Amino acid sequence: MAKFLTNREENYAQWYNDLVIKADLAENSAVRGCMVIKPYGYAIWEKIQAQLDKMFKATGHVNAYFPLFIPKSFFSKEAKHVEGFAKECAIVTHYRLKNDENGKGIIVDPTAKLEEELIIRPTSETIIWNSYKNWIQSYRDLPILINQWANVVRWEMRTRLFLRTAEFLWQEGHTAHATREEAIEETQKMINVYADFAENFMALPVIKGYKSENERFAGAIDTYAIEALMQDGKALQAGTSHFLGQNFAKAFDVQFTDKTGKLDYVWATSWGLSTRMIGALIMAHSDNNGLVLPPRLAPIQVVIIPIYKNAGQMDSISAVAKKLKADLEAKGISVKFDDRDNNKPGWKFAEYELKGVPVRLALGPRDIENNTVEVARRDTLEKEIVQMDKILTHVLLLLEEIQNNIYKKALEFRKENTFKVDTWDEFVRILDNPGGFILAHWDGTIETEEKIKEETKATIRCIPFDSPDEDGKCIYSGKPSKRRALFARSY
Amino acid sequence: MAKFLTNREENYAQWYNDLVIKADLAENSAVRGCMVIKPYGYAIWEKIQAQLDKMFKATGHVNAYFPLFIPKSFFSKEAKHVEGFAKECAIVTHYRLKNDENGKGIIVDPTAKLEEELIIRPTSETIIWNSYKNWIQSYRDLPILINQWANVVRWEMRTRLFLRTAEFLWQEGHTAHATREEAIEETQKMINVYADFAENFMALPVIKGYKSENERFAGAIDTYAIEALMQDGKALQAGTSHFLGQNFAKAFDVQFTDKTGKLDYVWATSWGLSTRMIGALIMAHSDNNGLVLPPRLAPIQVVIIPIYKNAGQMDSISAVAKKLKADLEAKGISVKFDDRDNNKPGWKFAEYELKGVPVRLALGPRDIENNTVEVARRDTLEKEIVQMDKILTHVLLLLEEIQNNIYKKALEFRKENTFKVDTWDEFVRILDNPGGFILAHWDGTIETEEKIKEETKATIRCIPFDSPDEDGKCIYSGKPSKRRALFARSY
């Protein structure tokens, strides 16, 4: 077991926390609920950012930046939004410190009190729509397709590294449209972008669907989500896209003249994905040896480790390794050659397993003689000997294979842990063991949804887009239902 | 004059503000002192970020992320730092809002008061060194070479878009080293990276030098800066790199065991560059027609504008334009083909001049017949007709030439506006007219520096690294001096 990870089967929560710390991804800071994202964890976020940013731009979006602070009064303008967000948040009340006259160090200057308190953004709809008001007069000014990369703060009481922190990093898209149809199309387009990203880059199979009214974004008409299943049978919401209707346009009085000269309120969407995704990445694929990273998001895709007894051996290995590194890099692969001499190969093997590097190449004196390399893949831990003249093609194909295999494995796991359930007893039993996704009929009422949550801690993750029309009876109330919803306990 | 810019010669400050607004770079927000960086302005910042990030990584640095909040007590730990930074800042005192019982909307919940106030980071030395304390035990843990891209807040009373805003975006490097020499080397390396970036990407000639004690970063042993001259004869500090000695290591008790087994405090540097650079970019190169952007940082490098009277003409122009766009893009050039039919070519010409697009290509029916393109360069506003089969090479060379020409022009301007001055009268006269950089002897005392500032508003921008040893007399006190300092009024 690498560096004393807690066993995943014994205590999943502790295994997760150990892994985040020991793989050097993040740690808690001196500020309650706020984490430090360490270089290796941040490198994964940079990969996520780069790929998503490319996908946003390919779908016509541009980036911009709006203020960190939101005047308190802005929240009150959208009735549901204030209920959802203006609660546990960080509030700036003063703008100056001073030396205490009684020598007690620095204190808040009571004379420097803000006239109106400022809230650190928990999400930016209000401050952004307050700007859009000045940007939009005519249909010619539409659509506005803006994304923002930013930090946000929600004063969570119980926090966990990456999964739930007071401050987190995310992107938030905020778009403005002339018609309802166009806004709905955008909402769908972006949940599809998220699903594409999750499946093809994070190797994370997701279920796309509608959120129930109860689980919708505060201020949205409709929320679409992608839901993923973690290895402990709990669900994780991995990204959401909201159709906001005209709610924020009405709250901030954003009207435009349409092609016929008629005044109307602007239609809106918003969509976001956060550093929480790193938590999903860890929990979906990793094992008792450490992280298992999909090659497309791994900061280091290939590590080369020399195995030598003396300087002479190291010299010839080093020459071969450097050439190999350069050749792989020329193919766009990120490679680390770990030639540090203060750690033994075995220690390094464990270290890069812990860090989830997809492919490990080991080079010893016999490899140099025989023109071979030992290739180990992180996902299955299998090893093989490959001829040096075939290594480039081999590694390129292997990285693709690992990417696909990780996805397939996660998809298999989800299939095995998704259950169609038609009785309440079975529902309760499966939730406790083995857990997982449950497709069950639901009468569509908030009351039933809340009762189920109270009694089992399971929530409606979404009503899958591809859930077929089907007559059935609500698992809880017995009332008629037309479609199954996806239930699970969740992060 | 494009879109009624104020004349630069009449009112430089107003010209600058008009330009920022009308070129759609940024605007003021509803929050005092905080700006909205609009997509076109943010696209420039993305170009700056991408290039700097590449240069940081090429010099061995990695990115990480530390909390937005700093506990108040952290500032008190470094005596000078607290004087410099714990004054005008945003202070979080509460963490919950609630509905007012008297129906006055939402109010701050008085029971949700933080035990210790949190300061929105004005700079992150304290929170970062508090983390480094846990990361560093031995010389093997060093160096730490970390950079952070982040937002910071300084509660400025008088703000100007990009140049001075309460919240701004920046990068801050924070490195930890085993020896004094290594830390000084890092400090120098990074001021050189900044100068390289300014000169070769922003086309902005800069003078590298030491800050006087009075102008140093609060908590630094030595501050190096790059100083640029704006078109109105005022200086702008474009980036700083600080040698922090062992000050922060001592304040946060960060010790390490060196190779000999001896315990010592860690040596530190920090260095930063902010969205202020966009202000410098605007002020250094632009003119009464609008922005002049250096090709290497221009979001759009080439714009193609069709000139047509009917749909038939547009069809043939469009086919040629799209091919041309694809060919240029294949060479790594960013191209916009503006085929909107709601604006006339003249309007578009003015629009892209305002936005500083380096090269404009116009295609009319006669061009299609003759196999030619009209090429206009933004820096000199010159136009020429180029044969279509030569256009790719022509544009590639022209972009390089514009980059060089903008730099040369700025360098010429600086040469013409840098004065060696040996008498107080001349010093005062030149500051008023024409302004610019003044190289003058100074006795090295804070008293004299402050007197000069009081009487003339000029400050010591830096003591240039390349200022030769030279016996002279202080311009103000007449006392002996060994070297000239660089004076100017500044932003």
Domains of chain B: 2-69+127-285 (3.30.930.10), 300-398 (3.40.50.800), 418-488 (3.30.110.30)
Within 8 A of A70 by CB-CB distance, chain B residues are 31
pLDDT tens sequence across B91-134: 999 999 988 888 778 899 999 999 999 999 999 999 999 999 99
| Mean pLDDT in residue range A305-316 | 95
Contact B64 A82 (CB under 8 A): no
A118, B31: Cβ pair inside 8 Å?
yes
Residue range B295-326, pLDDT digits in tens: 999 999 999 999 999 999 999 999 999 999 99
Mind telling me how many Å the CA of A143 is from chain B's nearest CA? 14
Chain A residues touching residue B44 (CB < 8 angstroms): none
A117 touches chain B (CB under 8 A): yes
Q: Which residues of A touch B106 (CB under 8 A)?
A: 72, 75-76, 82, 86
**Nearest-CA residue of chain A relative to B340?**
A140
- When scoring B27, B56, B97 by the number of chain A Cβ atoms within 10 A, the one with the most, hence best to mutate, is B97
pLDDT at B76 over 70: yes
Contact A94 B98 (CB under 8 A): no
**Does any CB of chain B come closer than 8 Å to the CB of residue A357?**
no
Q: Do A64 and B39 touch (CB under 8 A)?
A: yes
pLDDT at B2 over 80: no
Averaged confidence pLDDT in chain B: 96
Contact A127 B65 (CB under 8 A): no
pLDDT in tens, B15-61: 999 999 999 999 999 999 999 999 999 999 999 999 999 999 999 99
pLDDT at B374 over 80: yes
B69/A88 Cβ within 8 A: no
**Partner residue facing B93 (CB), from A42, A68, A94:** A94
Residues of B in Cβ contact (< 8 Å) with A134: 27
B positions 40-79 inside 8 Å of A (CB): 42-43, 45-46, 62-76
Q: Residue A3: is it exposed, middle or buried by C-beta count within 10 angstroms (0-12/13-18/19+)?
A: middle
- pLDDT for B3 equals 58
**Which residue among B88, B92, B153 places its CB closest to the CB of A90?**
B92
Q: What pLDDT does A464 receive?
A: 98
Q: Does B140 touch chain A (CB under 8 A)?
A: yes
Segment A449-478 mean pLDDT: 97
Q: Is A167 on the interface with B (CB under 8 A)?
A: yes
